[in-house]
């Protein structure tokens, strides 16, 4: 398979798997926390771009939320796949690497993406932070690392 096709396939597989697993976890958390329709999690995601208007935007905002969710998951997958082409160790130790990458994703999302977005946030809650970290370790870091380790090595950038 051509290098670019392998790269695309690996990124899409990893992004779709991580996005789906993380999405299922998000739906479950939202329902357990609010008792409301779990699909309400996606307007919340859309509110990062559209602000409070996302909560009254109906199905279009739900669709935007799904789009943004999978876009973010896929961008994290692309970054990891490209990095693993440079650092062979990442592919060889996928469990440890996946856990570390899940923690990295948590840090980027909670210290960068979410604070820079329009999402309203409450005060810091350690129990929620630990739960969310665990979810990202298992649903994002490990799947991205696993998919990357199973697919053809991408090789050095620029070759």
Tens digit of each residue's pLDDT (9 = 90 or more) over 26-77: 999 999 999 999 999 999 999 999 999 999 999 999 999 999 999 999 999 9
0.85 surpassed by pTM = yes
List the domain range (segments joined by +) for residue 110: 3-150
On whether residue 158 sits in a domain, the answer given is no
Lowest mean pLDDT among 7-11, 29-33, 116-120: 116-120
58 Cβ contact list (under 8 Å, min separation 6): none
**pLDDT tier at 158, thresholds 50, 70, 90:** very low
On whether residue 159 sits in a domain, the answer given is no
On whether residue 157 sits in a domain, the answer given is no
On whether residue 156 sits in a domain, the answer given is no
On whether residue 50 sits in a domain, the answer given is yes
On whether residue 93 sits in a domain, the answer given is yes
Interatomic CA distance for residues 155 and 7, integer angstroms: 10
On whether residue 139 sits in a domain, the answer given is yes
Interatomic CA distance for residues 65 and 71, integer angstroms: 10
**pLDDT tier at 5, thresholds 50, 70, 90:** confident
Interatomic CA distance for residues 85 and 62, integer angstroms: 35
Count of domains for the chain: 1
pLDDT score at 155: 59
């Amino acid at each position: 398979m051509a290098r670019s096709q392998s790269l695309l396939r690996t990124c899409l597989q990893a992004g779709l798997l991580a996005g789906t697993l993380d999405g299922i976890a998000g739906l479950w958390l939202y329902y357990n926390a609010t008792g409301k329709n779990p699909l309400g999690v996606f307007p919340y995601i859309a509110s990062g771009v559209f602000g409070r208007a996302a909560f009254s935007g109906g199905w279009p905002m739900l669709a935007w939320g799904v789009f943004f969710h999978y876009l973010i998951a896929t961008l994290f997958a692309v970054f990891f796949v490209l990095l693993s082409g440079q650092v062979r160790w990442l592919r060889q130790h996928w469990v440890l690497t996946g856990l570390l990458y899940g923690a990295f994703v948590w840090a980027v999302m909670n210290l960068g993406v979410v604070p820079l977005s329009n999402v309203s946030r409450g005060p810091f809650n350690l129990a929620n932070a630990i739960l969310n970290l665990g979810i990202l370790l298992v649903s994002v870091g490990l799947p991205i690392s696993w998919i990357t380790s199973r697919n053809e090595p991408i090789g050095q950038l620029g070759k």
